[in-house]
Amino acid sequence: MPDSVESNLIKVLNGLPLVGEEAEICDFSLEEQNEALESQGIQPNVDPHYKPIVGETVTYIVACVIFNQHNDVLMIQEAKESCAGKW
């Protein structure tokens, strides 16, 4: 498993596409989530056709930790402006 993670990371960092199962980053659609909730007797409250709009209906915070070949930790943080200094 670690070899495939490293291989995929190298591909992404070099701008190459992932293929096969690795290409599916988000594989659980809102429609599938709603079906899973309904199967448990829970009424979903999100329209399966909902379209997120960054900055209007959704915001994001991203944190990424990457180790280099010398096991040094390289860390990239990105946050919306209102979160600055709160991490």
Look at residue 84 and tell me whether its pLDDT is greater than 70: no
Domain extents in the chain: 2-83
Summarised one tens digit per residue, pLDDT across range 20-48 is 776 666 667 888 889 999 999 999 988 87
What is residue 66's DSSP assignment? E
> Side chain identity at 49, as an amino acid letter?
H
Beta bridge partners of 54: 58
Cα 60 from Cα 12, distance rounded (Å) = 20
Lookup result for tokens 């056709």: 49
Report percent pLDDT > 70 for the chain.
69
